[in-house]
Amino acid sequence: MNVIIVGCGRVGAELALLLSRRGHDVTVIDHVGSSFGHLDPAYRGRTIEAEPLGEGVLERAGIRETQALAAVTNSDAVNAVVAHVARTFYGVPNVVARNYDPRSLVLHEAMGTTAVSSTAWGAQRIEELLERPRLRAVFSAGNGEVELYELQVPEAWEGRTLGALVGGIPCSPVSLTHGGRASLPELERVLVGGDIVHVTATVEGAGQLGRRLEGTEA
């Protein structure tokens, strides 16, 4: 796969290394030549020192033969415009933009661009660790609006049902593992201390579930 990465900060450099190691043809664009110093010596790909929206720059990077583009500069506006141009003008099928200020997500939404907000995602992860130590996020959809959580049933919940644990909370049980064997959960299932339950939930639902596990919410 041919991939263009616009921006060679820490994220862009790490992404370039990961993709090149997987055998993809990667081209990194940055208007500051010293930024390429972030690239690992093991990176095998092209670099172009130029303004990404400068005349002919994306063409020189091979955008007409590119299957994926990541806009990961430190400017939300630049990322949004580059992603929009790549998707709508050049027809790149897979375009992702990095977002810094969560307030700017509306810009990506208006343009129909897939965006990843490292700020919002990171803050949410830390908040979860501080407030819900019994819940561990194992998969995040979008920018964390819905996640898959793993929890270990505490001894205090032994003998109670799964329905009692999740009832009235905006979450959906996905699996229950007991003795190393996983099964599709039923709400009538009686819990045993140490059972592993996977649930999908919103941020609000995860908060309620965490409080219920800790015994601070009925």
Instruction: Report residues of the chain scoring pLDDT below 50.
Output: none
The answer regarding whether domain 126-213 maps to CATH 3.40.50.2000 reads: no
Top-level class of domain 2-118: alpha beta
The pLDDT of residue 136 is: 82
The amino acid that residue 197 corresponds to is V
The pLDDT of residue 197 is: 94
pLDDT digits (tens, 9 = 90+) for 188-199: 999 999 899 999
The pLDDT of residue 189 is: 93
The pLDDT of residue 199 is: 94
- CATH 3.40.50.720 residue ranges of the chain are 2-118
- CATH 3.30.70.1450 residue ranges of the chain are 126-213
The pLDDT of residue 15 is: 95
DSSP 75-143: -HHHHHHHHHHHHHTS--SEEEEEESSGGGHHHHHHHT-EEEEHHHHHHHHHHHHHH-TTEEEEEEETT
pTM of the model: 0.66
